Amino acid sequence: MLVQVALPVPLYRVFDYSVPVDVNASSSSSLPHIGCRVEVSFGRQTLIGIVVAHTSETDSSVPANKLKPINKCLDAEPILDANMLKLAHWLARYYHYPLGDVLAVILPNLVRQGKSLDLLITHWRVLPHASDNDFRANAKKQKQQFDMLKLHGERGASEDVLLLEGMERAFLKTLEDKGLIERYIEPKQAPSPVKLAKMPLDLNDEQQLAVAAIVAAHEAERYTGFLLNGITGSGKTEVYLQAMQAVLEAGKQVLILVPEIGLTPQTRARFASRFAAHIVLLHSGMNNTHRLQGWQDCRSGHAQIIIGTRSAVLYPFANLGLIVVDEAHDGSYKQQDTLRYHAADVALYRGLQYNIPVVLGTATPSLEHLKLVDDSKLVECQLLTRPGNAKPATMQLIDARLQSTHQQTTDDGARYDTGLTDALIGAIRQTLEAGNQVLIFLNRRGYAPVLLCEACGWQADCPRCDAHLTVHYNSQSQHNTYNSSYLKCHHCDWQAYIPTVCPDCGSQNVDAKGMGTTRLSENLHAIFANPQASKELYPIIQIDRDTTRRKDSWENIYQRINQGNPAILVGTQMVAKGHHFPNVTLVCLPNADRGFLSADFRSPEHTAQLMVQVAGRAGRGDKSGRVLIQTLQPDNELLLKLVKDGYLSFARELLQERKMMGLPPHSHAALIRCEGKTLAATTQALKDAVANLPHGHNLAVLGPIDAPMSKKNSRYHAQLLLLAKDRRQLHHVLNQWWQPVLALPSAKYLKLTLDIDPVGW
Ligand code: ADP
Ligand code: ZN
Ligand code: ZN
């Protein structure tokens, strides 16, 4: 008998190995189980792979008796069960990605590296007869490490904990060899049943219907995908909580996916205050040991509530009972490199796998999900009202062409434009004076997006990308050194000094153009936090990646906001997601509608989602909210539709448009990107790829064209789009076409990638 092994190599095949007789002495069968890790020689390398099948004959060119044997089997029991292997096969098929590479994405690093899964449960304790007399006077370090372990008493502590405390592995070994300490395996105890820690709220009728539908699917052990379509603040989380209760009480696990780690401390608190349960957080900030620990807890059933970002959907679960995808429209659910999966799609697949309900919750459903509702593949539950007194905010347009924008005078007397209309400034002042908070949304960090020479039109561009350099500058900063004034590319992180004269014509008229969050904060500061301009001084709190970079800074900002004193919050899309700011009653969008003009056909959808999500931050407490949208295009039909009729009618109209144009979700897309040293080479490879398409393929082929940012980090990008009416059609073509394309002579030295269901092109 032979084993087929999936190896982490970019080849679309598995590899046959023979098995020496004594390789798996610990197991009764002489073959490593399917789902176990094995170490094998591969060319000149030694790799760790997963056994995916047993077979009696090999279809490789090497005769069976010449096949290389595996070096060793690392696991007595499979580390991936049948469901996980099925998931891996499905991902490989659907995303046309090599199985071995899929497994490499699924497995935590330490597992991939072949570490023992017992690592976490290996405990160390001091042996009863060991005493201080066993140490020679000069063995100070040994004694110190021994004392460290002794502090943990009879039961000792896990290796993991000891290493964190500063214990060194080498000393554990030495002390063990001297017969002073011993290792033992501490089996994890089954978690105690989940208990309610707090009474649930009384649901309104809409919430009740939603919970009942989800719980019914759970009780019937029937896969059902739900679209929980509820306006912001309508109590979606309460629906999750009460549906979870039934599932947890039945002894099953609940997986909750959230868009971003910035959200998880608050999210965790909401779940932890309701349930006394073992809650596990999974996110990209974890170190390898914690990831492995989380992986093991999910796999063993120890974890009862799992809150995680995108990749948590790929974890193994002992007895999963419900998956919730919060803010299911969010772009972060789509992985943008290697295995380009969409976590909401994978969540639905897993629901089907385990026969359990999957809830996609959002106030702004993606067109894909609306289409699934139309096709009866998702059951829609609507929440159209906010509980209690809170009223959804009203949206209002301010015509920035008619209104003069506020002029501000600098210290040296020059006047400049704040970019804010007088109407907007009036509303901000009113809100602050009434004791409330204002949120201003500007999706652009830094001081200004462009540095421009007024004399000759020169602009500061990134030498490595097709992009302007962003001006970073901070006149408020006490440390106004060169460190806080610089030009930076937001795509490749290239940095440069801000020139004092134009490098092209020598003119001194070099000026920052446009508005980023830093400049906006500064302008607001001059109006609302300057004793000469304002009676009261209001704090301006800037929230973007620059101000929240430090580990605790976001927590600090959050606390400052939730003290509730009047303040102006200026934020990028970081503030759009799920936050609860009870004292914000006014939300301003000075130019959020720019996205309606973008060339990307998905841009209107994403712009509207962002606007509605930001608007949803207004009036979430007992106070009602207002949303002001300042625009230079008040006649834009999409914008008017959104403001007058709301997101759903807006989305329905877009969906109709997509249908007419044959665009996703009314067709199915695959995007091929090609990256290389020259544009010509990348385009040529894609041309050859097109020439290789099978005859009569029936797909719409767009391109090759230059990618939206064709030069990025000194590399060139071209792309090719394939559209099919029918999903099977698309996969049928890709199955026979994609692998030969990768082997094209012109594709050598280029990076070709395939993106199924791309979110942008
Ligand atoms: P969403 O997730 O839909 O934006 P939340 O779940 O955050 O909304 O709910 C908004 C607010 O409404 C929260 O403060 C929540 O405690 C409250 N809430 C939700 N459901 C109810 C209910 N049935 N009765 C009273 N308050 C509720
Ligand atoms: Zn110039
Ligand atoms: Zn750049």
Q: From the CB of 613, is ligand 1 less than 6 Å away?
A: no
- Torsion sign, CA atoms 457, 459, 463, 466: negative
pLDDT, one tens digit per residue, over 139-178 is 888 888 898 888 888 888 877 778 777 888 888 889 999 8
| CB within 8 Å of 560: residues ≥ 6 apart | 539, 541, 567
Q: Name which residue sits closest to atom 9 of ligand 1, judged by CA.
A: 235
pLDDT band at 692 (very low <50, low <70, confident <90, very high): very high
Q: From the CB of 205, is ligand 1 less than 6 Å away?
A: no
Q: From the CB of 233, is ligand 1 less than 6 Å away?
A: yes
CB 269 within 8 A of CB 281: no
What's the 343 CA to ligand 3 centre distance in angstroms?
29
pLDDT, one tens digit per residue, over 453-471 is 999 999 999 999 999 999 9
* Nearest ligand by distance to the CA of 238: 1
pLDDT band at 297 (very low <50, low <70, confident <90, very high): very high
* Residue 406: predicted pLDDT: 66
Identify which of 70-79, 548-557, 592-601 has the greatest average pLDDT.
70-79
Write the single-letter amino acid at 96: H
Rounded to two decimals, the pTM is 0.88
Please indicate whether residue 199 or residue 362 has the higher confidence score (pLDDT): 362
Strands 584-589 and 437-441 turn out to be: parallel
Ligand 1 pocket check: which of 199, 207, 228, 237 to mutate, most ligand atoms within 8 Å of Cβ? 237
What's the 453 CA to ligand 2 centre distance in angstroms?
5
Rg (CA), the chain: 29
Beta strands in 101-180 (DSSP E): 122-126, 157-158
* Nearest ligand by distance to the CA of 382: 1
pLDDT, one tens digit per residue, over 328-337 is 999 999 999 9
* Nearest ligand by distance to the CA of 453: 2
When mean pLDDT is compared across 405-409, 450-454, 614-618, 672-676, the lowest value belongs to 405-409
When mean pLDDT is compared across 115-119, 311-315, 424-428, 606-610, the lowest value belongs to 115-119
- Over range 424-431, report the average pLDDT: 94
Write the single-letter amino acid at 40: V
Helix 637-645 / helix 603-615 crossing angle, nearest 10 deg: 40
When mean pLDDT is compared across 13-17, 395-399, 679-683, 684-688, the lowest value belongs to 395-399
When mean pLDDT is compared across 305-319, 344-358, 403-417, 434-448, the lowest value belongs to 403-417
Mean pLDDT for the chain overall: 89
CB 253 within 8 A of CB 396: no
CB 672 within 8 A of CB 720: yes
Q: Name which residue sits closest to atom 25 of ligand 1, judged by CA.
A: 387
Please indicate whether residue 20 or residue 669 has the higher confidence score (pLDDT): 669
* Residue 304: predicted pLDDT: 96
pLDDT band at 411 (very low <50, low <70, confident <90, very high): low
* Residue 479: predicted pLDDT: 45
* Residue 481: predicted pLDDT: 43
Q: Name which residue sits closest to atom 20 of ligand 1, judged by CA.
A: 235
What's the 470 CA to ligand 2 centre distance in angstroms?
18
- Torsion sign, CA atoms 505, 509, 510, 514: negative
Residue 405 has pLDDT above 70, yes or no: no
Please identify, by atom number, the ligand 1 atom nearest to the C-alpha of residue 582.
14
Residue 108 has pLDDT above 90, yes or no: yes
Q: Name which residue sits closest to atom 26 of ligand 1, judged by CA.
A: 387
Please indicate whether residue 200 or residue 364 has the higher confidence score (pLDDT): 364
Q: From the CB of 582, is ligand 1 less than 6 Å away?
A: no
When mean pLDDT is compared across 136-150, 329-343, 546-560, 566-580, the lowest value belongs to 546-560
Q: Name which residue sits closest to atom 23 of ligand 1, judged by CA.
A: 203
pLDDT, one tens digit per residue, over 20-59 is 876 554 544 578 999 999 999 999 999 999 999 998 877 7
3-state percent helix, strand, coil for the chain, nearest multiple of 5: 35, 25, 40
Write the single-letter amino acid at 390: A
State how far Cα 241 lies from the chain centre: 22
Which chain residues have CB less than 5 Å from ligand 2, an ion?
A: 453, 455-456, 458, 502, 504-505, 507
